Amino acid sequence: MTEERRTGPEEVRQTRTIAVGTIARVEGEGALRVTVKDGAVHDVELRIFEPPRFFEAFLVGRHYSEVPDIVARICGICPVAYQMSAVHAIEQIFGLRVEGALRDLRRLLYCGEWIESHALHVYMLQAPDFLGYDSGIAMAKDHPALVTRGLRLKKAGNAIMTLLGGRSVHPVSVKVGGFSRVPGRRELEALTTELLWARDAAADTIRWAATFEYPDFAPDYTYVALRHPDEYPFNEGRLETSNGLSVSVGEFEQHFTEHQVPYSNALQCTFQGMPYLVGPLARVNLNQDRLSPMVREVLADTGLSLPLRNPFHGIIARSVEMLYALEESLRLIQRYVPPPAPALAATVRSGTGTACTEAPRGILYHRYRVDDEGIVREAKIVPPTSQNQGRIEQDLRQFMPRLLNLSNEDASLACERVIRCYDPCISCATHFLRLEIERE
């Protein structure tokens, strides 16, 4: 038995550029181990470092009002998702229902995060795979206009987040019951010109991504996403699966169960004992009738049709959602009339509340128990990446056989490309992966 290691850090030293997640790699925050036995894939283990576990404990004993600021730090890319799941769960305990303009502002804030996160992944993380570059920087040398377009799209999303407050250092911030302050009409309208540009750029992004060459790969997925009676889902809806389940968010833990795997400190989540898929691909497929006419039109022009079954089409799904989120932002801004108060008054009461919202990477479930003084006594967070982890492994198992004749290095790169389709948090590193192939 020989064990071979191909690791990112060596490559980093050779090229002398410091890749993202070098520290992460050293700490083993993202690693893949593949065992090949008698020329066939025997086992696939993906190890992910998962910060929410620490935060679950960290939140206990804190006042409910501190929760939005704390959870905003769990993920650098999706602070809004964590805030949204948290405030909705706590509002459920207090019997608060945020509606009207405040609800619209939250939806708008979430649109901003989707635009920013999707633009980052489409342009900087996944497009280089299709255009044959090893990083967004390498791609920028040959395609500065494309990368600039991606960065400007990302900035358009960020402008919404900055205005509505994704982080506590900002004067405006999310709180239980609403916001600490709400913008005036003019502040929101000032975004319109750039968002109109971004909307057209997002449409162009779909057309561009449709020209890529995609590997022929279509695993049999069970999709899971929120479904709302008349909207594309962000903050509300029932949990629906592609095989017919439709349950309320409160029933999440009865159907989706987390379990420990020995090789990773991330818990894996299964549905009826099987891995499932959350995120843009699942969302567009389960909510295709909630997409806009413009999205449908652009898609039809490209010859692509829903449902999308190839995980590599995640880049299409993200581009589609980026366009949708931009159209939705413009619509929400246009109808905005500032609410009478920035937040509903909250009356503390003890109890347990749950919420599930659609983070850029898929459903994010939170459950909190607070006592009658508003102190958090229990917190549970199920992030999208832990839900997709089992599915990523299954896909790698299915994809690996076609890679067995490649060198470890090439196989590693091909595996990274598969993993990046899911935009797991660890994919923030363009070369995050440490692949170990054990050949017996």
Partner 1 sequence: MAVIRVIGIGNLFRGDDAVGLLAARRLRERLDSSVEILEAEGDGLALLDLMEGADQVMLIDAVKSGGHPGTTVRLDLSKESRWGRLVPCSTHAIGIAEAIDLARTLGRLPKQIILYGIEVDSLESGAALSEPVRGGLDSIVEQVLKEIEGIPCTKCI
Stretch that binds partner 1, among 129-137, 284-292, 370-378, 416-424 (CB under 8 A): 129-137
Residue 255, SS3 per DSSP: helix
Q: Is 136 in the site for partner 1 (CB under 8 A)?
A: yes
Q: Are 326 and 156 in contact (CB under 8 A)?
A: yes
Q: Is 135 in the site for partner 1 (CB under 8 A)?
A: yes
Closer CB to partner 1, residue 10 or residue 301?
A: 10
Residue 354, SS3 per DSSP: strand
Residue from the set 62, 103, 167, 309 that interacts with partner 1 by CB under 8 A: 167
Stretch that binds partner 1, among 243-251, 363-371, 415-423, 424-432 (CB under 8 A): 424-432
User: What is the separation, in whole angstroms, between the first and last Cα of the chain?
Assistant: 5
Residues 53-82 that bind partner 1 (CB under 8 A): 54-55, 58, 73, 75-77, 79
Residue from the set 20, 146, 245, 261 that interacts with partner 1 by CB under 8 A: 20
Q: Is 180 in the site for partner 1 (CB under 8 A)?
A: no
CA distance 65 to 211: 47
Closer CB to partner 1, residue 284 or residue 382?
A: 382
Q: Is 280 in the site for partner 1 (CB under 8 A)?
A: no
Closer CB to partner 1, residue 197 or residue 217?
A: 197
CA distance 204 to 208: 6
Half-sphere CA count of 203, side-chain side, radius 13 A: 15
Residue from the set 267, 306, 428, 433 that interacts with partner 1 by CB under 8 A: 428
Q: Is 198 in the site for partner 1 (CB under 8 A)?
A: no
Of 161, 156, 166, residue with least CA distance to 192 = 156
CA distance 124 to 430: 9
Residues 141-160 that bind partner 1 (CB under 8 A): 141, 144, 147-148, 151, 154-155, 158
Q: Is 419 in the site for partner 1 (CB under 8 A)?
A: no
Closer CB to partner 1, residue 161 or residue 415?
A: 161
Q: Is 265 in the site for partner 1 (CB under 8 A)?
A: no
Of 431, 402, 438, residue with least CA distance to 31 = 431
Number of residues that bind partner 1 (CB under 8 A): 40
CA distance 173 to 145: 34
250 CB neighbour count, 10 Å cutoff: 15
Output the CA angle 301-305-311, nearest 5 degrees: 120
Q: Is 28 in the site for partner 1 (CB under 8 A)?
A: no
294 CB neighbour count, 10 Å cutoff: 15
Q: In angstroms, what CA-CA distances link 278 with 124, 239, 281, 362?
A: 21, 11, 7, 5
Q: Is 92 in the site for partner 1 (CB under 8 A)?
A: no
Q: Is 429 in the site for partner 1 (CB under 8 A)?
A: yes
Q: Is 8 in the site for partner 1 (CB under 8 A)?
A: no
Q: Is 17 in the site for partner 1 (CB under 8 A)?
A: yes
Stretch that binds partner 1, among 14-22, 206-214, 236-244, 327-335 (CB under 8 A): 14-22
Burial profile 4-40: b = 16 or more Cβ within 10 angstroms, e = fewer: eebbbeeebeeeeeebbbbebbeeebbbbbbbbeeee
434-439/30-37 β-pairing: parallel
Stretch that binds partner 1, among 52-60, 91-99, 262-270, 394-402 (CB under 8 A): 52-60
Binding footprint of partner 1 on the chain (CB under 8 A): 16-24, 27, 51, 54-55, 58, 73, 75-77, 79, 116, 120, 124, 135-137, 140-141, 144, 147-148, 151, 154-155, 158, 167, 169, 425, 428-430
